[in-house]
Amino acid sequence: MENMIWDARYELTALIMLILFLVFYQLQRSLPLKKNRVFMGMLVAELSCILWDLIASYISTWHMRYPTWMLEISNMLYFLFLISVYYLFSVYCRCTARERAADPILRWWQLRVPLWFAIAVLISNPWTKAIYDVSRENGYVRGWMYYYLIPAILILYTVISLAFVLYYRKYLSIREKGGLYAFVICTMLTSMLQIYFFPYLLITNIGLSTGVAINYLAMQNPEFDKDRKTRNYNLEGFGRYTSEQLRMGKEFQCMAIGFANYKTLLSIYGSQKMDRLLNRIGIRLRNHYNHAVTFYIHNGRFVLVFPRHIEINPIETELIAYFDRNFGLNKDVLQLNLRLAYLYADKQIKKPFDIGESLEMALDDACRKEIYQLKVVDDALMEKLYREREYHRALHDAIEKDHVEVFYQPIYDSKCELFTMAEALVRIRDPKLGLLFPDTFISIAEKDGTILGLGKIVFRKVCRFIREHDLDALGIQAIEVNLSPIQCRHRFLAEDYLKIAEEYGIDLNNIVFEITESATVGVARMGKMMQQLQKAGARFALDDYGTGYSNMINVMSLPFYCIKIDKSLVWSYFRHEDWILPKFVQIFKDDSLTIVAEGAETKDMTDGLIEMGCDYVQGFYYSKPVEEKVFLEFLKSHNETRKE
């Protein structure tokens, strides 16, 4: 066995690079996850590996000057930290997989077995000389098991790491897989080159440091978990953090912070000023509650996550006191209407996304109230959440499996005393939940974007109905089809609906598109879409007038031929709570607009609405929305009888 002389130039480069990298990473404040702690452990182990490699190389080169025990310990620590880096990388891969998959393919104790074996071999090495032999005469020489044991352990941990990446590859992004593969290539290439081809050239740690740097850029940058506006952790980080806490069986508390008037302030002051204000709030929350993990979710909403032993009442009091003041934005002064929601996360919460969704729902409920009240996530709210989740499942199943049905509600023409129009209303017939009405799933469809596909399905079914039935013979002049605000903002809505109408071979003269008041806020965006459909023969009705979203200017600037007065306004009038209904009717009649009154439930109401001047009356007094077959029978029995 020959005495070894080492070239440490690459090792010094790796040392400088890793020290700078370690300081930079520590200053960035990463999300407190086990994966991030393991990555930090990799950095420390790699730094220790470089230092002990340099120390061991120096002592071994000048072995005559140092006692044997120093050679023994320095080399032992080098090999220990080298194997530890590979072990920690396999743990890191397991943590990455654990964030996305429920059951990793290996347990913690199984990962530690090769490490324990290596530690046992290193501890016994002074007697066995298996890995290396040191003496004052010969310095350091490789032992009889070196070429078999060290590469085997390094390769084993590399194979384990690759197994995690390959087994869970469908859960990993291309960037993440690239970072993990790059680490494996860099580390194994330099380690094997040094072991088998260039034993005198210390290049193992330059490969490890390069692999760590690539992995940082690909998936470990703390900025990935931070919101740019507030510099707090973001929504994705919130999901990852709470998921890990639940997996580890830890109980914790969440205090969600929102503002009832945030959207109004955003529309008045603009995103730049509001972002600056949110940044100030984020700094305050982060610095003042340093025992909590602070997240910015979206739309001016923050979440503070506290350990379970923290008393929450003083925190609520402090938050109320802090936000009960005016905030200055340059020359502007504004006040935030604080709303808080609280959740205690214990072992009863099974799914991590229950936390975020329940807090969102609780804040929504709190924002709808006029005065402040802490909204606590309780069993009733969780039941509501699970129910909405079932509606969400039913909605997607309905679109995928064609469980969507169209019901029709006849509309009475007060002049000819016949039912000459009908409104098409969507229903879902779910095998598990039964018949679902729009108020259970339309808001969900608008949130997740499925409203676009759902709207096309309804329009197709209406077009099929028109093609298969002679509307003139039925006495029907038009069928009303609802368009939600989300649909109206879709760039290609008109083109899509014109293609569907062409596919079924019908024109749009028999179609009236109902657009709700809330959609008329974006007048400029609406105009082009309405013109395209209007050229094809379609007409437009303003739906739900009186719900408080639009104004007369919006109504007059868009090509509506008809105004549908919301049932809430009708009911208020006939309950003697509000007397403005006749004035609205007169204003619209003066502008030659057709009036449809919704919500007529009694004969007195229908007679009063007709006497008031309403052209059409719609409501349960005549008929509820019914299935297509029942609707056809209704028309035959009522319209034909009246004609006779």
| Residues 161-177: tens digit of each pLDDT | 898 888 888 888 888 88
Residue 221 CA from chain centroid, whole number: 20
Question: Is pLDDT at 395 greater than 90 in this prediction?
Answer: yes
Torsion over CA: 183, 116, 43, 79 (sign): negative
Give the pLDDT confidence score for residue 438 in this predicted structure: 92
Please tell me the least confidently modeled range out of 415-429, 520-534, 588-602, 627-641: 520-534
Q: Report long-range pairs for 623-632 (Cβ below 8 Å, ≥24 apart).
A: 623/409, 623/410, 624/409, 625/407, 625/408, 625/409, 625/423, 625/425, 625/427, 626/407, 626/408, 626/409, 627/405, 627/407, 628/406, 628/407, 628/408, 628/465, 631/407, 631/408, 631/410, 631/422, 632/469, 632/474
Task: Decide: 513 and 538 in contact? Cβ < 8 Å.
Answer: yes
The Cα–Cα gap between 446 and 333 comes to 34
Q: Is the pLDDT of residue 555 over 80?
A: no
Looking at residue 264, what is its pLDDT? 87
**Residue 640 has what pLDDT?**
65
Our CA angle for 343, 346, 352, nearest 5°, is 75
**Arithmetic mean of pLDDT, 315-342:** 89
Structural element, H or E, at residue 113: helix 108-128
- pLDDT above 80: residue 628: yes
Assign 242 a pLDDT band (cuts: 50, 70, 90).
Answer: very high
In angstroms, what is the C-alpha Rg of the chain? 35
Q: Which of 189, 211, 174, 266 is nearest to 89 (CA)?
A: 211
Token pair, residue 566, equals 């919301």
330 contacts 278 by C-beta, under 8 angstroms: no
Q: Is the pLDDT of residue 1 over 50?
A: no
DSSP string, 517-529: GGGGGSHHHHHHH
List, in order of start, the domains of the chain with CATH numbers. 9-224 (1.20.1070.10), 226-377 (3.30.70.270), 388-633 (3.20.20.450)
Quick check: 436 pLDDT over 90? yes
- Kindly tell me if the per-residue pLDDT of 326 is higher than 90: no
Is pLDDT at 547 greater than 70 in this prediction?
Answer: no
Assess whether pLDDT exceeds 60 at residue 3.
no
- Amino acid 480: pLDDT: 96
What pLDDT score was predicted for residue 549?
A: 46
Please check the confidence at residue 402 and state whether its pLDDT lies above 70: yes
Rounded Cα–Cα distance for residues 417 and 639 (Å): 9
Q: How far apart are CA 88 and CA 83, in angstroms?
A: 9
Task: Mark residue 129 as left, alpha or beta (left: phi above 0; alpha: psi -120 to 50; beta: remaining).
Answer: left
Residue 230 has pLDDT above 80, yes or no: yes
pLDDT band, very low/low/confident/very high, at 616 (cuts 50, 70, 90): very high
> How large is the average pLDDT for residues 373-386?
89
SS3 550: coil
What's the pLDDT score for residue 498? Answer: 94
Asked if 116 and 196 touch (Cβ cutoff 8 Å), the reply is: no
Confidence band for 546, pLDDT divided at 50, 70 and 90 = low
Average pLDDT over residues 417-425: 95
* Residue written as token pair 């007709």: 610
Please, which pLDDT band fits residue 113 given cuts at 50, 70 and 90?
very high
Backbone dihedral region for residue 575 (phi beyond 0: left; psi -120 to 50: alpha; all else: beta): alpha
What is the distance between the alpha carbons of residues 193 and 191, in angstroms, rounded to a whole number?
A: 5
Over 50: is that where the pLDDT of 2 sits? no
Percent of the chain with pLDDT over 70: 94
> How far is residue 633's CA from residue 536's CA, in Å, rounded to a whole number?
30
